[in-house]
Amino acid sequence: MMKKYLFLLLVVGYSGLSAQTLQVEITTKNDSDREKATARLLQEVLSEYDLSQWVFTRQVVIEQMAIPHSHPVLTLNTRSSDKTDILDTFVHEQLHWYVEKNPDAEKAAIDAFKKKYKEVPYQNAAGARDEYSTYLHLIVCYLEYRSMAILIGEEEAKQLMWNQTHYTWIYNKVIEDTAYLSNVLKQNGFDLVE
């Protein structure tokens, strides 16, 4: 039985004078205790951080055994046991929606990456499921890193990237080639975090 939780997040506009209500609908797939605990943890994160800049889809499913993914519905699992982990995963999956809204910029950035990184790992922990997805994750993971630096601080974000057990080659490039990735993404209009 799926259970929905509607969570309203008050987001104050830049002027400080206006406010808008951002709705994030959190649904538990099986309504298990672990899923409900993760839903509560995500609600705490949404209350604690101003994530208005990073919310591109407002539907979130918590599914205990799922691999986190962005589409067709943003889905998180119950593996994240602390706020930083769930914040990072939530932002990462939201960024897929942001990149998807910019297909021309995505293609141009990936074309540039293919010139620098002629061979990339895939179908293992170093890369993503296929070659294209590894290139795509250079965009997403760079934006994730810069987003987390804004949200939790530069050093904490860098440590978070180094500690990842998946996309390890990608996260290494994000840290080692930050200036290059930043330049390519800025040139192609990915200025969300600059």
pLDDT in tens, 136-149: 999 999 999 999 99
The better pLDDT of the pair 172, 15 is held by 172
The β-bridge partners of 9 are 22
Look at residue 44 and tell me whether its pLDDT is greater than 80: yes
Asked if residue 127 has pLDDT above 50, the reply is yes
What pLDDT digit, counting tens, does each position of 52-111 carry?
A: 999 999 999 999 989 899 999 999 999 988 999 999 999 999 999 999 999 999 999 999
pLDDT value, residue 85: 96
Q: Whole-angstrom Cα distance, residue 70 to residue 153?
A: 25
Mean pLDDT of 167-192: 96
- Tell me: pLDDT of 22 over 80: no
Of residues 105 and 20, more confidently modeled: 105
pLDDT at 12: 33
Q: Where residue 6 falls among pLDDT bands split at 50, 70, 90?
A: low
Q: Where are the domains of the chain?
A: 3-98, 102-187
Average pLDDT for the chain: 89
The pLDDT of residue 5 is 56
Read off the amino acid at residue 43: Q
